[in-house]
């Protein structure tokens, strides 16, 4: 790439080229493709905003509509590969290289296109890692971002879904890059300035409001007894045991079940005020009963959640909100919070191997990881102690080290059912991710959480505390010992598993004083979406697809 394309002259050339389509900074949706054809040069590094939540969908369509003879060879850098257009541009020849983080709904197509060679992936990152590279070696020349509204000066209001916008704009605008924002409406004065207008060069008034996926909404009606049992074990055997106050939850039903039994089972265990009070978490609807029962002190959010706007706005004592009364989310800061300020990450995965490595990549599906590898890693840069952090390290120690030199440990808990739907075993000899990497000739298998970061594996059969394992063999048997009736589980050394259980490395429900038959849906503080609405005082407004009223 020549210097000219990244210098100040390049920016003014791009701005001049785009000015023809604009009235000041404002561009009509119908002119969006013409604008992009004018400001983007072949070979540009382009960031299109979109993650697992909000999407710059109008600009994605506009980009996919560009003439590949004019716009081609792009290197796309983006949090999420989510919309069909995100991949269409590779098939049409507009783009040829991709660095990204998350690709939930498009995971299968990504895998297929990688196989066909129509898509070259630099790497699958964690969000924070990708953001970091925006400032080092993946700085965009053009950023296509999304906001709720803008004024004529380009000041942007992102509403509750601020998410990645400040990070993307920061990396682009201060390095001579051009920023195009799509907004739902142009207003006289924005309710709150989330992005100052001097960092935004063009504003496209979108034809319809941008899309947001309600990714963090879990219908309590679908929580199973097994998930409740696992939630009970988690609360009693981990939250209570370590006194975890600062934490992050994944998005699965297992962690939703934990949120839903805080006001019931958690209360019964006397854990209120002692655990789960400070969160790096999106505004999960399933957390409403815990918030309303006084469990939660504060929550910082990566993004918002569809339908939670009014509720969050009504609880500024808990959530971070702006003077306009709405949530201020920020993915980069919240990821940092999850990495450094939380004592525990607990989340699900699709596959776990005998070393405890996990991945959501399965044959034919490269889903990406989003924030999990970052949340679910032990940060070696952490320097502040906390009881949970120290206790975890103490368990991992054989007692011969100098206590004052002992680095703490973040609790990284994988909460998984031994079989997924269709009897697909969660526990495997070799991760599909390794096979995929071998077949595709990758330098690195797409592992979500490395085994050496994992401290506990929790299944319906019990909790394996890997901190207490002293040898690789113990570790393997501890994992086999909670792997249920999968082949891995049935292949356990029964004697050794019994020994591990005696030592408390493996703990079954009965070892924790939990009767399996008590795991009942009556433990859920909310059993339905409607219950959540009631808990919220009528403020939570679930998307239509989650309603049965």
From the list 404, 444, 495, 517, which residue makes contact with other proteins (rule: CB under 8 A)?
517
From the list 44, 460, 474, 476, which residue makes contact with other proteins (rule: CB under 8 A)?
460
* Dist CA 183 CA 195 (whole Å): 12
Subset of residues 205 to 224 that bind other proteins, contact rule: CB under 8 A: 221, 224
CB of 423 to other proteins, least distance (A): 6
The residue range among 113-121, 138-146, 494-502, 538-546 that interacts with other proteins, by the rule CB under 8 A, is 538-546
CB of 161 to other proteins, least distance (A): 22
The residue range among 177-185, 263-271, 314-322, 497-505 that interacts with other proteins, by the rule CB under 8 A, is 263-271
Question: Smallest Cα–Cα separation from 319: which of 338, 340, 304?
Answer: 304
Under rule CB under 8 A, residue 135 binds other proteins: no
From the list 153, 394, 493, 531, which residue makes contact with other proteins (rule: CB under 8 A)?
531
Under rule CB under 8 A, residue 533 binds other proteins: yes
Under rule CB under 8 A, residue 273 binds other proteins: no
Token reading at 192: 């709150």
Question: Smallest Cα–Cα separation from 347: which of 447, 251, 456, 462?
Answer: 251
Token reading at 108: 């299968």
Query: Number of C-alpha atoms within 13 angstroms, CB side, residue 473?
Result: 4
Subset of residues 390 to 419 that bind other proteins, contact rule: CB under 8 A: 417-419
Is 170 or 518 the residue whose CB approaches other proteins more closely? Answer: 518
CB of 277 to other proteins, least distance (A): 18
Is 224 or 499 the residue whose CB approaches other proteins more closely? Answer: 224
Under rule CB under 8 A, residue 499 binds other proteins: no
Q: Which residue has the tokens 């970061």?
A: 453
Subset of residues 231 to 260 that bind other proteins, contact rule: CB under 8 A: none
Question: Coil, strand or helix: which one is 403?
Answer: helix
Is 159 or 542 the residue whose CB approaches other proteins more closely? Answer: 542
From the list 30, 485, 503, 504, which residue makes contact with other proteins (rule: CB under 8 A)?
485
The residue range among 36-44, 74-82, 386-394, 525-533 that interacts with other proteins, by the rule CB under 8 A, is 525-533
* Dist CA 455 CA 82 (whole Å): 31
Helices (H) and strands (E) counted in the chain, each on its own, are 21, 21
Under rule CB under 8 A, residue 465 binds other proteins: no
Phi, psi for residue 349 in degrees, rounded to 5: -155, 175
Q: What is the sign, positive or negative, of the torsion defined by CA atoms of 453, 455, 460, 462?
A: positive
From the list 176, 226, 355, 499, which residue makes contact with other proteins (rule: CB under 8 A)?
226
Sequence-distant contacts of 204-207: CB under 8 A, at least 24 apart: 204/27, 204/28, 204/29, 204/31, 204/32, 204/35, 204/58, 204/59, 204/62, 204/180, 205/26, 205/27, 205/28, 205/29, 206/29, 206/57, 206/58, 206/182, 207/29, 207/58
Under rule CB under 8 A, residue 549 binds other proteins: yes
CB of 51 to other proteins, least distance (A): 24
The residue range among 51-59, 176-184, 447-455, 528-536 that interacts with other proteins, by the rule CB under 8 A, is 528-536
Q: How many residues does the chain have?
A: 549
Under rule CB under 8 A, residue 421 binds other proteins: yes
From the list 129, 207, 225, 493, which residue makes contact with other proteins (rule: CB under 8 A)?
225
CB of 91 to other proteins, least distance (A): 27
Under rule CB under 8 A, residue 545 binds other proteins: yes
Q: Binding-site residue total for other proteins (CB under 8 A)?
A: 44
Question: Smallest Cα–Cα separation from 201: which of 24, 9, 7?
Answer: 24
* Dist CA 381 CA 341 (whole Å): 11
Q: Based on the number of CB atoms within 10 Å of its own CB, is 534 exposed (0-12), middle (13-18) or buried (19 or more)?
A: middle
What is the DSSP secondary structure assignment for residue 449, as one 8-state letter?
Answer: B
The residue range among 43-51, 241-249, 306-314, 541-549 that interacts with other proteins, by the rule CB under 8 A, is 541-549
CB of 482 to other proteins, least distance (A): 11
Token reading at 348: 């699900």
Q: What is the DSSP string of 179-247?
A: EEEEEEEE-SS-SS-SB-GGG--EEEE-SSPPPB--TT---GGG--HHHHHHHHHHIIIIIHHHT--EE
Under rule CB under 8 A, residue 427 binds other proteins: no
Token reading at 283: 């505004």
Under rule CB under 8 A, residue 31 binds other proteins: no
Under rule CB under 8 A, residue 547 binds other proteins: yes
The residue range among 47-55, 144-152, 262-270, 349-357 that interacts with other proteins, by the rule CB under 8 A, is 262-270
Residues of this chain that interact with other proteins (CB under 8 A) are 221, 224-226, 229, 263-264, 267, 289, 292-293, 417-419, 421-423, 460-461, 484-485, 490, 516-517, 519, 521-522, 525-528, 530-531, 533-535, 537-538, 544-549
């Amino acid at each position: 790439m020549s210097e000219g394309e990244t210098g100040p002259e390049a920016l003014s050339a791009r701005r001049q080229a785009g000015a023809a389509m604009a009235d000041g900074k404002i561009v009509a949706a119908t002119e969006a493709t013409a604008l992009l054809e004018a400001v983007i040069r072949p070979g540009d590094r382009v960031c299109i905003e979109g993650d697992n939540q909000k999407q710059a969908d109008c600009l994605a369509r506009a980009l996919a509509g560009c003439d590949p003879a004019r716009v081609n060879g792009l290197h796309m850098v983006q949090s999420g590969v989510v919309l069909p257009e995100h991949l269409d541009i590779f098939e049409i020849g507009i783009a040829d290289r991709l660095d990204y983080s998350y690709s939930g709904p498009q995971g299968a197509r990504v895998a297929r296109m990688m196989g066909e060679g129509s898509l070259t992936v630099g790497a699958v990152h964690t969000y924070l890692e990708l953001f970091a590279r925006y400032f080092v070696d993946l700085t965009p020349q053009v950023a296509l971002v999304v906001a709720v509204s803008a004024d004529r000066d380009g000041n942007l209001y992102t509403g509750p879904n601020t998410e990645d916008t400040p990070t993307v704009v920061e990396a682009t605008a201060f390095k001579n890059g051009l920023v195009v924002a799509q907004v739902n409406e142009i207003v006289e004065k924005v309710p709150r300035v989330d992005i100052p207008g001097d960092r935004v060069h063009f504003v496209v008034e979108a034809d319809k409001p941008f899309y947001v996926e309600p990714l963090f909404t879990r219908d309590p009606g679908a929580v199973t007894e097994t998930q409740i049992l696992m939630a009970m074990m988690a609360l009693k055997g981990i939250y209570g045991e370590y006194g975890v106050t600062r934490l992050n939850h994944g998005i699965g039903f297992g962690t939703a079940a934990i949120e839903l039994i805080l006001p019931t089972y958690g209360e019964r265990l006397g854990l209120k005020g002692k655990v789960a009070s400070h969160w790096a978490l999106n505004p999960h609807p399933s957390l409403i009963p815990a918030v309303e029962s006084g469990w939660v002190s504060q929550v910082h959010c990566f993004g918002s959640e569809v339908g939670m706007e009014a509720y969050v706005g009504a609880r500024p004592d808990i959530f971070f909100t702006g003077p306009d009364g709405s949530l201020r989310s920020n993915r980069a800061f919240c990821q940092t919070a999850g990495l450094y300020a939380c004592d525990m990450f607990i989340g699900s995965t699709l596959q776990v191997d005998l070393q405890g490595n996990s991945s959501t990549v399965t044959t034919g599906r490269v889903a990406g990881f989003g924030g999990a590898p970052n949340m679910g890693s032990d940060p070696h840069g952490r320097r502040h102690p906390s009881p949970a952090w120290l206790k975890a390290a103490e368990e991992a120690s054989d007692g011969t080290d100098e206590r004052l030199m002992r680095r703490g440990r973040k609790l990284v808990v994988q909460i998984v059912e031994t079989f997924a739907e269709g009897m697909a075993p969660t526990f495997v000899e070799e991760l599909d991710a390794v096979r995929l990497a071998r077949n595709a000739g990758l330098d690195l298998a797409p592992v979500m959480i490395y085994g050496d970061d994992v401290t506990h594996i929790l299944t319906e059969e019990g909790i394996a505390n890997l901190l207490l394992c002293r040898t690789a063999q113990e570790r393997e048997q501890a994992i086999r010992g909670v792997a249920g009736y999968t082949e891995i589980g049935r292949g356990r050394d029964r004697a050794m598993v019994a020994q591990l259980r005696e030592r408390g490395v493996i703990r079954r429900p009965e070892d924790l004083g939990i009767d399996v038959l008590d795991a009942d849906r009556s433990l859920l503080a909310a059993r339905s979406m409607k219950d959540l609405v009631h808990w919220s005082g009528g403020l939570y407004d679930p998307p239509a697809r989650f309603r049965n009223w």
